[in-house]
Structure 1
Amino acid sequence: MKQFKKTAIALGLAQMSLMLAGAAMAQTTTDAPKTEAPAGEPVAVVVTGQRAALQSAQKIKQNSDEIVDSIVAEDMGKLPDRSVTEVLQRVVGVTIDRTMAKGDPEHFSVEGSGVSIRGLSYVRSELNGRDSFSANGGRSLNFGDVPPELVAGVDIYKNPSAEQIEGAVGGLVNLRTAMPFDYKGFKSSISADTTWSELKKGKTSPSYSGLISNRWKTPIGEVGALLDLAYSESGTRTDAFQVEPYYPLTDAKGNRVFVPKGAQWRTLEFNRKREGAYGALQWKKDDWSSSLTYFKSKYEMQWDEQAIFAQSSPYNIKVSPDATFGPTGALLTGTLTDPADGGINFGDDTRTAKRNSDTTDVSWNLRWRHDAWTVTTDLQHIKAKTNSFDSTVATGVTMPQETLDLTGNVPKILFTDADRANLANPNNYYWAFTMEHLDKSEANETAWKTDLKYDFDHPVLRDVRFGFRLTDRDAVTQNSNPSYNWAAITQPWQVGGDIAHLAYLGDPRFSGNTNLHSFDNFFNGGVSVPSVVFPNVSLAQGFPGSYAALHQYYQILCAENGKTCGQWQPASFGADNYAGTNDQSEKTKAVYGQLRFGWDELKYPVDGNIGLRYVKTDSNAQGYTVFNSTAPTGGTLTGVPIPNILPFAKKQDYENNYHNFLPSLNLRLKATDKLQFRFAAASALSRPDFTQLQGYTTLSETANSSTVNGVTTVNSVSLTGTGSGNPMLRPTTSKQIDLTAEWYFSQSGSLTAAIFNKRLKDIIVNQSYVTQLPDTAGKMHDFITTGPINGAKGHARGVELAFQQYFDKLPGALSGLGVQANFTFVDSKRELYNPVYQKYCSGGNTADNANLNLNGCDTDGTTFGNLPLENLSRQSYNLALLYDKGPWSARLAYNWRSKALQAVNVNGTQGTDGLDSNPASPTYGQHVVAWALPTWSDAYGQLDASVFYKFSDKVQLGLEAQNLTDATYKQLMQQNIGMMGRAWFKTGRRVTAKLSYDF
């Protein structure tokens, strides 16, 4: 590995020295010819207008060997989007997720996050045809981290060919940057913009970018150099309502009804900085050419949140006699009370989260082209790292009642003057809890590939290509231990035990460091909610010192009550943080061969390629296996025998080796110069994310027993386990077929249709499997372990339709009008290999969420039916009205997708809240049921716009606007009473003013 890196550095320095020497003797030229791209590769076309950009993208799609959709630089610049993620959603078959993280649906992302292609999230990312990724435990880029100003174009490949790097079952997104030889000579431009966000009134966010490029003819060949820099800020605010899951209760008339334990509101201030630097050097002379590129992307994010949330016991909730219910028994309107707890208990937290990420890519390319031979070698090193800190400090308050109206588009929480006064009084609040989380991750990869091509002088055979690729990659991710360290300061359930009362703010010993937060302009002025007392942000940011001071309040109250209580311990990485450390390494070796052919003399010419790629993967994971037992030992034991297994924690290394053959076929039939059809068949794979490969497993032995007169009777023994990951996972694979019809009726006009079918195998799901351990006598015992396995198969099949046209024949100014429209339909199915191992919902004496059904469990202990693949919308479409005439260029674009499954058992929609408080019950003091609800993003559409005016060939002014209709994003939670509203997010409109100048 070290020698590999030294070789890359040495070659890069030699390349740079050669180019700088040429530049010193250079003479500027403005008529240098453009470099010719290798056959079969997308051609980088420089365009100056929106219509020309569409022509360029259409030409790439028409001439490509594979099924590909493209966006070129000028088109990208004209889109009313502020990130690469948002740009991608305009492409047919591509959708984006609008939550900040896959496992955290409570936080909305204005610019979007994860990308799915044809309903599948198995998406590979590339930078200039080379592997690229972020250090987040996954295998692809966080596209939101990449400055769009550095990107010259985007290609979205929907079916693979043998020469493409493996790993894209859903699709491949290749980000292309500009090269010096893309321009005839000197090129320079600068741009600046500022963005105004409606909910952050009075605050704007600036952005800047600049590019300079030139090429020279020198005695040692032609040399080119390019530098591109970008900086941008974004500040947004998101307001949200949330409704808790519905629980089975009995109303005043004795009917079984379903009532949430409360509803709540929150607001989140989001700020990010994104920096990018890109540099490229090129050289060519005679049969030789070479390039060296450097790409750096930095992303800094911080968000601060004030949230109030219900934390009462759901089964103690009472609903008023005048409450109304829907056909399934779900609450519509009514007042909630909790007499058993003295009121409805709420938490009021201030949360701050920070993340810093950066990705650095250094790549060197050398090409020799002579006669029929082309040999290309490519060396790349990429390094990505990230770290984050997530901190929450909370107060608590008891509300005597909460009146809800859940009949409208957005829930209404109705407050009396007494309610508002109660929430505004700091004396009613107590210090509740703290929670912190830290993580850091670093990933490195060195890759080397060599490709050879031989061009045939033959009526059928075009060329043959073959090559190899070697990679060496490592990734280490560390989460703090505990991962999310929730720790009570004072909680109602502690009163009467260690402490006599809570740490109320009215007590001078515990007062201060709070503020009364008024939710101004909440939901863009559409809703009025009361002010709430929150901890100061400085407490959340002051970890660990501020935390330690807060937890001293508990010590004071313990001492006051004559008790000695344990000290608070902060989360940390620690040398023995086995559960929080995921250490992975992976090497791959790939070889391929591909033949391109064509029959031009046929009535309907046919061309295409056929190939085979072979790849071998060798991965290693360093992990731990931990066993503990709470079963009784010693004394007199009768009943079910208890396996005698000694507790242990041992280091364990895993080796996982597998290989795959990936054939592919791409055919194109030209019915006319304008009408063509494609057929593609291929095998593809997507390797597991590194987060899924963690090698940490905990195994537990518990016993249900009773002791009478010194004799312990064991009724049952439970052997269970939980795997944080599974280092022996195989890749998810697919066999896929595509059919397309493409009609290009003008330079910027086309109508295309595609039918696709992907049959998936070895889908990774969290399910149960057997782990064996020997007892002291050598007998093996089965532990039913829950973790990720290759446990399902399925399919994703559907249709894509796309149309674009400018109406040139309209009179006068109307001839600048155009339209773009596309529609995607995807049907999916997921089927378990071993339904016998599928867990059922937990009931009775358990608080183990690992026992939950894969498809989720309702709050009444019942299961749900089969769920579709995650992040897949059955329908999505884009509709854009274009205008491009003279100095004016404008676009009005609407993007829509139908509802999609987000996840099961995610934050906020899982728990074990069924605590039995009836002393006469056989399960008194125990959790009656564990539950986890599937969450869905509801159908969502957003209208964006842009308009640009060119004062001259050099100066352009533009306006971009996002979310013109102030759309509300809604999240659903699936229950057996229906798809219930879980959360509503409002972000307001954003407007950007942009000025650019070309030298």
Structure 2
Amino acid sequence: MLAPLDCRTALIGIAALATLPIQAQAQARDDLGPALTRLAVERGVQILFQPRLVRGRAASPVRRDTTVDQALAALLSGQGLGARRVRPGVYAIEPQGRAASTSDPARAPEDTATPVDPVTVTAAYGASLDRALTFKRGAAYSLDAVAAEDIARLPAANAAEALQLAPGVSLERHRGVGLYVSVRGLGPQFQNVLLNGRPIAMNDLVENGGFRGRQFRFEVLPADVIDRIEVVKTTTADMDEGALGGNIDVRTFKPLELGRRSVLSVRASQGQASKPDPAASGVWSWIDDSGRLGFLAAGMAERRRIRNDRLYQTGWNLDRFTDVLPAGLYTPTRTRPTLELEDRRLVSGDFALQWRPSPAWRTDVDLLVTRLDAHYDEFGLDIYPDDTTLARPAFVAGSQRVVGDTVQAGVIDNVRWMASRETSLNRHDLAAFGLRQSWTGGPWAIDVDYAYSRARSYHPDGQGTVRARAAFFAPLTYDFSGGRGAGPTLKTTVDYTDPANFAGQAFDYTFKDSRDTDAVLKADAARRLGPGRLSLGVEGHRRVRDYRRRDWILNSLLGTPLTSLGNDYYGETPVSDFLDGTPGDLPRRWVALDARAFYQRLFTPQIAAQPPSVSDLRNSFVVEEKILSAYARADFSGQWFGLAVDGDLGIRYAGTRQVSTGVLSSGADPIPAEWRKTYGNWLPSANLRIALTPDLLLRMAASRVVSRPNVVDNAPRITLARDTPTANGGNPDLDPFLATQLDVSLEWYFPSGGALTGAVFDRELDNYITAQNTFIQVPGRGEILLSTNVNGGDARIQGLELAYSRTFKALPAPLDGLGVQASLTLVRSQANYFAGDRVIKNALLGLSRTNYSLLAFYERGRASVRLGYNWRSAYLTTIGSSITAPATTAAFGSLDGAASWRIDRRTTLTLEGVNLTDARRYVQGQSDDQPMEIHHWGRYLSTRLRWAF
């Protein structure tokens, strides 16, 4: 019987990968531990062994045409060790007296499992690092992986938060939740996100009026159902085009890899909202006795309540008070203390079926369904120092304090102070189905893969975005000289906590519905040609974004005293410690409206029955992409100057047909519009891997990739802002832009586990998409600043990436449980593009010049402790315009940790914490003299109890 393995056990669990033959092993005797790891990679099995059993032992050579059992027997020959088949696809290395050696076919036939007692394996974090490095080492291209142990037990709520551990990956948080991922300095719109190797439809943002286009929303992929995540950083011809940053492939659990196993986890958490958040998840995996058929079901349900204290400012505007102030000075525009509350409820289910009736036949079926309901409730106090819609503010001469080109302090008369309340239910649904059929016969391998996914982000009927507003007009005394780390002074002579001072403003009700579908059918054929392989394939891919929006703006209570409506229509903000710990004389509590009361009074059936307005039609659109692609890829391997070398050369052609439909207008008349665009791109790629030594790999890669415009940028639409004289629109004539990618990396794998890796990369972007700003006249609104996108910029990104991980097993006890993981990415950009008539140099949206992560862990016996810090430097958030300053998000770092205690072989108790230092995020204008935003979402602490059977 296999004894329970302790925290120092090396668990190498590998899914099937197409990797190179074990050439180094065929040439010389290798260390046994790494040889077993590489065998697991090549053959798609799990091999369990204790490091002390293989330490100092050399492996015998293995022929390429052997079975797994024969290969293990050859590796272990003369070592006093044997391999026992625990279950299909899982082997345990033991002293020979205790193992049924695979060298005896009668005792361990290839197609049956040896009867054993139940085995419980506690997979250590150090073992998960080894597993991730095994994927990286065996891949035919540049790859980084995050394995199941990292995902399940780090304080990561979703796939994006788990990816912080991968080198070159940075995270964008939204109210403290990780939503979007950047790779090597390139923003979320430049990544391909895959689920089990297949494209996936994208849920889009619907709250607060915005949408993101091609940026995948990772919160709909909960961490508890994920086995591993691979970040592919170089391209091969068979990969989907479009990944300028990387292909992020999220892999869910598979039954033939897990065997018969069940895991149940319950969690209780609490954050700044000061309410307990429950969560439960489970994975159940079953295989038949033959090991050929497997079924898996996984699920998760969680509730998370969020509170984010935010001081929000839309920017600093140029030359707004030239009747008093000299030209060339920036003054503040809309400023808003905002309390954001969310009640998020996520339910997700994952199902997998695998059938292996013979070694030549493989069938895989996958289904993932997720529903996220996010109840949003926002309390704001809008201050409009330069809005002339209802009144004309006037700067008080002599009150200004000017620093550089910024009026940091002053007094402005006749300013609108507006209490607002916004509520909505934002629902995000995702369903993804995949069917893959593989057949191998002789030298040929045929693979057919079909995937269909549908994502919808919308407001259910009657629960759209409801905005109620009430205001008064009074002087504003402001002072932003405290800098971005402090709150500004925002004072007036009128009491904003007294409802008697407020009168009604416009009431808004908005319904938004974003529907995305993604369908792909792919067929591949490969033939072995001696030591190499030739692969050919075709793919048909269809994406559709159908976005619908309606806005009702009702002025029936405009100017009505708030107190005349009754006590049911107003109250006070529900917290008294708004932005606690932030200095500054700013509003901490103010009148709060009841948005649902306004909705029930104003949104009558007659209002709801009104036909869509011209503005509604302009806001709605459909964009369809049909992509037909084909590729050829040749894999080779051999010896160059006595070194083992392998790689691939390939070419891919992608032909794209795009149809954008929407509505334009001429005065009050809607005009249906349709744009058709067709283009094709030839995309070559090459990857080369050289084994300088068995543990030192040199990789080189080059490719040409295409980056298509964001869906929302292609749409024929114009969306007007409700509270500012601005709008944004699409441009159906946008061209994609191409990029040339070069990558060189060096990977040194330590015999005792761990690695030191480094890479340099170069991305040159042609015909980069940039912003254009134009003033237009809109009936009823006057002059509006319209922002859209055009081709024409040039950009280049170069960088250095370093990663190190090590478990110090050679140290004397008790220090042998220590381990570290670290990564550093340095990026520089050379860019030249425009925002209106303003030239922007060497700054790209979302690009942080420096990213690093540090993680230390200690595991011994039943205990495990991990502490990690992830940091990214400042990055450009918006590029501004001719009359507005750009916005930059300041550097941000988060300290996260987890501590676990293994109560028994099946039960583990874990304490987790996110943002332990209570860090806050800050945004500023074009200099430190222009502070703009403060975000404070607080710490998030959890207790988890996990059972594995």
**TM-score class normalised by the smaller sequence:** 0.7 to 0.9
Partner AA of 1:231 in structure 2: A
How far off its partner does 1:723 sit?
8.9
Counterpart selection for 1:657 from 670, 674, 678: 678
Q: In the TM superposition, what are the counterparts of 1:247-326 in structure 2 within 5 Å?
A: 259-260=331-332, 264-286=336-358, 287-313=360-386, 316-318=393-395, 325-326=402-403
Distance 1:525 1:158, change over 3 A: same
Indicate the residue corresponding to 2:542 in structure 1.
Answer: 472
Contact 2:294 2:353 in 1 (8 A): yes
Q: Distance in 1 between matches of 2:484 and 2:521?
A: 55
Checking the alignment, whether the CA contact within 8 Å between 1:855 and 1:866 is kept in structure 2 is: no
What's the CA shift string for 1:21-67, capped at 9, x where partnerless? xxxxxxxxxxxx99854446995869811011000101111111010
Alignment of 1:814-825 (within 5 A): 814-825=815-826
| 1:887 alignment partner, one of 843, 862, 873 | 862
* Deviation, structure 1 residue 758: 0.8
Counterpart of 1:118 in structure 2 is 184
Q: Secondary structure at the match of 1:612?
A: strand
Q: Secondary structure at the match of 1:89?
A: helix
SS in 2 for 1:830: strand
Counterpart among 856, 874, 888 of residue 936 in structure 1 = 888
Give the Cα separation in 2 of the matches to 1:648 and 1:155. Answer: 50
Aligned to 1:223: 293
1:169 has 2:282 as partner = no
Instruction: Give the drift of 1:274.
Output: 1.6
Q: Which SS does the other structure have where 1:116 is aligned?
A: strand
Which residue of the other structure, out of 511, 523, 546, is the alignment partner of 1:450?
Answer: 523
Task: Sort the Cα spacing of 1:881 and 1:581 in 2 relative to 1 into closer, same or farther, 3 A.
Answer: same
AA in 1 matched with 2:712? T
* Alignment root-mean-square deviation, CA: 3.4
Is the 8 Å Cα contact of residues 16 and 45 (structure 2) preserved in structure 1?
no
- Taking the aligned partners of 1:530 and 1:789, their CA distance within structure 2 comes to 42
8 Å Cα contact 1:624/1:697 also seen in 2: no
Check conservation: 1:611, 1:664, Cα contact below 8 A.
yes
TM alignment of 1:755-774, pairs within 5 A: 755-767=760-772
> What is the CA-CA distance between 1:215 and the residue it aligns to?
0.8
Contact persistence 1:626–1:697 (CA under 8 A):
no
Amino acid of the structure 1 residue aligned with 2:518: E
User: What pairs with 1:827-976 in structure 2 (closer than 5 Å)?
Assistant: 827-832=828-833, 854-855=834-835, 863=838, 865-866=840-841, 868-905=843-880, 931-974=883-926
Is the contact between residue 470 and residue 562 of structure 2 (CA under 8 Å) also seen in structure 1? no
* Pair 1:617 & 2:617 matched: no
Match of 1:148 in 2: 223
Match of 1:192 in 2: 266
2:830 maps to a residue whose letter is: K
Aligned to 2:431: 360
Alpha-carbon spacing, 1:785–1:899, altered in 2? closer, same or farther (3 Å) = closer
> Does structure 2 conserve the Cα–Cα contact (< 8 Å) formed by 1:292 and 1:363?
yes
Partner amino acid, structure 1, of 2:733: M
- Give deviations 1:590-619, integer Å, cap 9, x for gaps: 111111111247422221111111121222
* 2:593 aligned partner: 535
Which residue of 911, 921, 944 maps to 1:994? 944
Give the deviation of 1:767 after TM superposition: 3.3
- Kept in 1, the 8 Å contact 2:453–2:519? The answer is yes
| Residue 581 in structure 1 maps to residue 620 in structure 2 | yes
2:695 maps to 674
Cα–Cα, structure 1 residues 34 and 761, in superposed 2: closer, same or farther, change >3 Å?
Answer: closer
Q: Show the counterpart of 1:839.
A: none
How far residue 399 of structure 1 moved from its aligned partner, in angstroms, is 4.5
Q: Counterpart in 2 of 1:383? A: 454
Check conservation: 2:540, 2:627, Cα contact below 8 A.
Answer: yes
CA deviation string 1:675-729 (max 9, x = no partner): 111110001112223212223589xxxxxxxxxxxxxxxxxxxxxx999323333
- The corresponding residue for 2:808 is 807
In the other structure, the counterpart of 2:304 is 234
- State the identity %: 23
Give the secondary-structure state (helix, strand or coil) at the position aligned to 1:931: coil
Counterpart for residue 419 of structure 2: 348
CA deviation string 1:138-169 (max 9, x = no partner):
34531122111111100001111011111211
Mapped to 2, the partners of 1:44 and 1:750 lie a distance apart of: 22
Q: Give the conservation status (yes or no) of the 8 Å contact 2:865–2:898.
A: yes
> CA 1:253–1:673 in structure 2 vs 1: closer, same or farther (change >3 Å)?
closer
Contact preservation (8 Å) 2:685, 2:702: yes
Contiguous gaps of at least 5 residues in structure 2? 1-12, 21-40, 48-121, 205-211, 720-725, 777-784
Contact 1:855 1:867 in 2 (8 A): no
Q: Quote how far apart the aligned CAs of 1:802 are.
A: 1.0
Q: What letter matches 2:894 in structure 1? A: Q
1: CA distance, partners of 2:425 / 2:194? 27
Tell me the distance in 1 between the aligned counterparts of 2:352 and 2:333: 58
| Distance (Å, rounded) in 2 between the aligned partners of 1:464 and 1:791 | 39
Residues 257-307 of structure 1 show CA distances to partners (whole Å, capped at 9, x for unaligned) of 755368542211122122211111111122222121111122211221111
Task: Find the residue that maps to 1:974 and give its secondary structure.
Answer: coil
Look up the match of 2:504. 431
Q: For residues 919-970 of structure 1, what are the alpha-carbon distances to aligned partners after superposition, in whole Å with 9 as ceiling and x for unaligned?
A: xxxxxxxxxxx83332111111111111111112210110110111111100
For 2:285 and 2:920, the matched residues in 1 are separated by 43
Letter of the 1:740 counterpart: S
Pair 58,252 (structure 1): closer, same or farther in 2 beyond 3 Å: same
- For residues 516-542 of structure 1, the C-alpha deviation after alignment (integer angstroms, 9 at most, x for no partner) is 2253222245558443112114236x3
- Structure 1 residues 453 and 317: CA distance shift in structure 2, 3 A: same
In structure 2, relative to structure 1, the CA distance for the partners of 1:280 and 1:401 (3 Å cut) is: closer
Q: Any idea what SS the aligned residue of 2:505 has?
A: strand
Q: Distance in 2 between matches of 1:125 and 1:406?
A: 43
Task: From the superposition, tell whether residues 242 and 450 of structure 1 become closer, same or farther in structure 2 (CA, over 3 Å).
Answer: closer
The alpha carbon displacement at 1:569 in A equals: 8.8
- 1:981 equivalenced with 2:927 (yes/no): no
Q: 1:305 to 1:615 in 2, by over 3 A?
A: same
Instruction: Pick the aligned partner of 2:561 from 498, 504, 523.
Output: 504
Is residue 350–residue 537 contact of structure 1 (8 Å, CA) maintained in 2? Answer: yes
Partner letter of residue 189 of structure 1?
Answer: V
Q: Tell me, what secondary structure is at the counterpart of 1:57?
A: helix
Aligned to 2:199: 131
- Shift of the alpha carbon at 1:668? 1.0
Mapped partners of 1:97, 1:206: distance in 2: 25
Whether the 8 Å contact between 1:424 and 1:530 is mirrored in structure 2 is no
TM-score, normalised by the number of residues in structure 1: 0.75
One-letter amino acid of the structure 1 residue matched with residue 698 of structure 2: F
One-letter amino acid of the structure 2 residue matched with residue 802 of structure 1: A
CA distance in 1, matches of 2:517, 2:858: 45
- 1:952–1:796 distance in 2 versus 1, CA, 3 Å: same
Distance 1:828 1:991, change over 3 A: same
* Closer/same/farther in 2, CA of residues 856 and 266 from structure 1, 3 Å limit: farther
The separation in 2 between residues aligned to 1:947 and 1:661, in whole angstroms, is 50
Q: Distance in 1 between matches of 2:788 and 2:150?
A: 44
SS of structure 2 residue aligned to 1:291: strand
Choose 347-356 or 388-397, whichever is displaced more: 388-397
- Specify which of 731, 749, 753 is matched with residue 748 of structure 1: 753
2:141 to 62, 66, 84: 66
User: How far off its partner does 1:791 sit?
Assistant: 2.4
Classify the secondary structure of the residue corresponding to 1:579.
Answer: helix
Per the alignment, residue 38 of structure 2 pairs with none
Cα-to-partner distance string for 1:627-676 (whole Å, 9 max, x where unaligned):
45xxxxxxxxxxxxxxxxxx975433332221111111000111111111
Report the counterpart of residue 392 of structure 1 in structure 2: 467
- Identify if the C-alpha distance between structure 1 residues 284 and 196 changes in structure 2 by more than 3 Å, giving closer, same or farther: same
- Residue identity opposite 1:195 in structure 2: S
Alpha-carbon separation, structure 1, partners of 2:485 and 2:879: 24
Q: Evaluate the alpha carbon distance shift between residue 616 and residue 321 of structure 1 in structure 2; reply closer, same or farther with a 3 A threshold.
A: closer
Return the offset for 1:747: 4.7
Q: TM-score by structure 2 length?
A: 0.79
Q: How does 1:512-531 map to 2 (within 5 A)?
A: 512-517=568-573, 519-524=575-580, 526=582, 529-531=587-589
Distance verdict in 2 for CA 1:626–1:996, change over 3 Å? same
* Residue number in structure 2 paired with 1:706: none
The Cα of 1:68 is off from its aligned counterpart by 0.5
